[in-house]
Chains A and B, each alone.
Chain A
Amino acid sequence: MSADRVRTSPGDVRGNATGALELEPRRSPFVFATAQYESGDWDSAPSLAGNIIDTVARYTSLAVEPQGAMVSLSSDDALRYPLLFLTGHLPVRFTSQEGRVIQRYVERGGLLFIDDHNHDIDGAFHKTATEEIARLVGPLQPLPNNHVLYSSFFTFVDGPPTTSHELNGWGDNLVHEQLLAVTRNQRISVLYSNKDYSSEWNFHPDNKRFMGVDPTRFAVNIIVYALTH
């Protein structure tokens, strides 16, 4: 995929050396941003950001920052990132300021990707996070497994790829068939996963060489979707 087809950040108008205004949009590299929030352990997957950046660099020609960012949901700086990743084990209760920023974020076209690090059905994170999203953005609905998200870069015929925490043998055989999402104007605003990608993707990228299939490929789909829709 060509990088210039991808919206990585809003363009701006800058002055050049001669003082003339440049109307060409500025193409900033994609920055993988992890959302900080007050109530839980937002930093429970510290290796994930580097791993996903490695994946983006490995499979795409997207301009990408080599280092991820952590951005507070209490800050308007969150609005600078087209994709925000949020994870944790503990109950999620957003503060009023965090709620306002989230609402503005999705209204302005951001994609908030939430992953339940617990991998359970009705755990504390799941209950509270879905409650909070329903309160702030809208109710989460199952995302069809033929959604364009699953073919935005790699093709996942059966919907979201399973994780080792789900598969019988390693995992608990608790397979979540679908992701959940809040859509606005036929675009995903909030993507919610119970599949524990936070654990699945939380390893050093050098360890990919031991794997037959890179489990982080689905992250490319999410990023490309966020940048192109």
Chain B
Amino acid sequence: MSGATAAFAGAAEIRDAMARVRTYLRDTIIGHTLLLGAATGVVAAVLGHAISIFVATALAVELSRTQLALGHWVLPLMVAAAVLLWRVFNRDVITPVRAALWYEERVPSAHAVVTLVEQSVNALSPGVASQLARQAAIAAHETLPARAQLRSARWKAWRVPAAVLLSAGISLFALRSWAMPTLQDNINANAATSTGDASAGASSNRLGTWRVRVAPPSYASRPAQSLTNVGSVRALVGSRVVIEGDGDSQGLAATMADLSLSVSGSDSWQVNVTMPNTPAVVRVSDGDLSRVLTLIPQPDSLPQVQLLTPLRDSVYRDTAGSVQLSASAQDDLGLRLLSFEVILTSGAGEQYTARTITLGAKAVNGARSAQAVHELSFAVLKVAPGDVMHVRALARDLHPVSSREAGVSETRSLRFARADEYDSVAVEAAPPPVVDSSLLSQRMLLDLTEKLESRRARIAREVLVVESRRLATEQARIRRAVSAMVFQRVTGEGESEHVHYEGDGHDHGLTAQAGKLVPGFGGGGVSVMTGAQATGASGQANNNATDESAIVAINRPLLEAYNAMWDAGRALELADPREAIPHMRLALEAIQRARAAERIYLRGRVRLIVVDLARVRLAGKDTGQDSRRRPGERALSVRDVYGNRLLRAAEQLVIDPVAARDSLVALRLDALTDDAPLSAALELVLSALQAGDDVTSPLVRARRALLRPVAGQGVSAWSVP
């Protein structure tokens, strides 16, 4: 082998060795970067834990779980990521030359290595290459592979971050093992408040750790709960809440809304409270320390009840029959009973009696939903015409208190019409009679007419006329049926299609015009309001009830149907089904509208009084002379007259005793009939006069007899002065 060849072989060996050095150095740097990132993150986590513990304990600031997660995990991870990114963007790129330089720095004798790595052997002169190869061989022989230097370099690079990582990890473990439970307790306890000692969570504090047992009411069938170091309890109203802690109860005090609670126990203390209806705070105090437990009540909701049938208010013409009641109910805890309540009110005017009946009670053994059905027979309740029945469903839940309110449904009013109401109000029609299958309905008649119209171009004129007139006959029959219904419902007259004319003395508000019935001259019936009018669909006070008669108001849709049928029948008679079809559709629509008519109130139009305000306020239209009146003198009463006569007689005694005596005698006689005490007193005066005695005293007695209080004839009903 020549010198040059040997030099080339040595250079290749050197380069391979430098490649391995380079790889080693690169791995060392990557490991250093990772260690540095991890150490920084753990250190940040330790700081986060320490700060949160300090804030929660020393500063007694309540930290949420989100805040804790942010300080303990999110921020450290972000710090670690930031360090890693910084190192990645500022990394040392290890090139073969840098690896050779690094090596040469540590092995000075291998100075030829850099040149060999940096320069291509081919670019060197053979002499230089040979000399470099010899030096490299010596260096390689002496130093390659320099594993000691490499290991030393790696150790130097890794030891600091590894140490930091290790120590920070230990610290973090210690914090999470020992300090964090205390912090968590404090957080759960909503930060124990301490007025004296800030270390409320210290082990010496009897309030530091407490246990709360919650026993829901037995009827709720819910399991009991045991909670540790909670600051608030959410439980059903009436639940038994027991707060327990370690230590003697001596010196402990507990209050709830200014109410002192008993604290009992020797080895461990205990406070018993019942979950109130409204949120409350239980404060347990131990000297300067105190801790609170917030009681958050969960109300037991009332059952939700829906009355399924009857679906809406109804008016019954007859008190015979029955109605099906059905209802459903739901409850949050469980139902105990589902029933129907019926209030049956009888009477009129100012005399009403009411009975409350509970029907169809169904026991529900704690199910959260239930349904009940009951057939209510009117005969059983002895319903009479004029009665009003209010029906609703009631559901009781499992709550054991007897005064517990029941869940109720909407109320339906069922009214039973009196016979004398039939002529003034509409009542729900009786069930339809059995339909004669041979008869055609208006809908079917319309179908046949439309078919006839479609066949019109294909059939002969004679056939069209025959079939059209047959349909006209059917149309007339239905029209008469509608007419009969209108008149029979309102007037009781069975005959249909009879109308009256002005002045014939028999008016129910309809006149005949070209065969049709139109609201006419009468209006003799009692005006009524439909449900929409009475309740004010637009909310306006219904002061605008129309003046049309009952027969018109109630049967307006049927009258429209009647008149449309009249037009349709006339067109069919003329063999013009095309002309008849629109009228037949109008008639059908009107009939359907009549079927869906709202209920009618069983009462007449409310009488409205319009007050003449000017008259009431004496501010009328008269503008003449002042006509103010002066109050007259009060008329004298009998006693006043007697008093005056007695006074005059007394005065006359000095002037003319005889005349005075006569006056007194006359006065006594008058008083005998209507003032016996005065008469008796005057008798004494006359006796004294007769005897010549002093009459002063008897006169005073007579005067007093006049002034004595007298019972009136009774207290007026409006006796307020």
Contact = CB atoms under 8 A, between A and B. Distances in A.
Given A54-B611, A213-B720, A93 B392 contact: yes
B430 interface: no
Interface stretch (A10-18, A20-28, A39-47, A183-191): A39-47
Interface residues of A, number: 52
Given A72-B535, A74-B535, A75-B536, A96 B410 contact: yes
Contacts of B609: 47, 49-51, 53, 67-68, 204-205
A70 B542 CA distance: 7
A66 B410 contact: no
Interface residues of B, number: 39
A75 B611 contact: no
Interface string B606-620: 111111110011000
Contacts of A57: 611, 613, 616-617
A72 B616 contact: no
Given A51-B609, A164-B717, A124 B343 contact: yes
A205 B616 contact: yes
A74 B538 CA distance: 10
B313 A38 contact: yes
A213 B717 CA distance: 9
A186 to B, nearest CB: 22
Given A71-B541, A91-B343, A66 B613 contact: yes
Nearest to B721: A213
A72 B539 contact: yes
A178 to B, nearest CB: 18
Contacts of A167: 717
A178 B610 CA distance: 32
A107 interface: no
A170 to B, nearest CB: 6
A67 B543 contact: yes
Contacts of A54: 611, 616
A67 B413 contact: no
Nearest to B313: A38
Interface in B349-379: 350, 352, 354, 356
A36 interface: yes
A47 B536 CA distance: 20
Interface in B262-320: 313
Contacts of A71: 536, 539, 541
A215 interface: yes
B345 to A, nearest CB: 5
Nearest to A53: B611
Interface in A34-87: 36, 38-39, 41, 43, 46-47, 49-51, 53-54, 57-58, 64, 66-72, 74-78
A176 B224 CA distance: 50
B613 A64 contact: yes
A66 B612 contact: yes
A8 to B, nearest CB: 15
A57 B388 CA distance: 38
Interface in B25-83: none
Given A38-B413, A170-B717, A199-B350, A77 B540 contact: yes
Q: Which 5 A-B pairs have the closest CB atoms?
A: A50-B609, A93-B411, A75-B539, A124-B354, A213-B718
28 contacts: A38-B413, A46-B608, A47-B607, A49-B609, A50-B610, A53-B609, A67-B610, A71-B536, A71-B539, A72-B535, A72-B536, A75-B535, A77-B536, A89-B352, A91-B390, A93-B390, A123-B354, A124-B356, A164-B717, A169-B717, A170-B717, A199-B350, A205-B611, A211-B718, A212-B718, A213-B718, A213-B719, A215-B718
Interface of A: 33, 36, 38-39, 41, 43, 46-47, 49-51, 53-54, 57-58, 64, 66-72, 74-78, 89-91, 93, 95-96, 117-118, 123-124, 128, 161, 164, 167, 169-170, 199, 204-205, 211-215
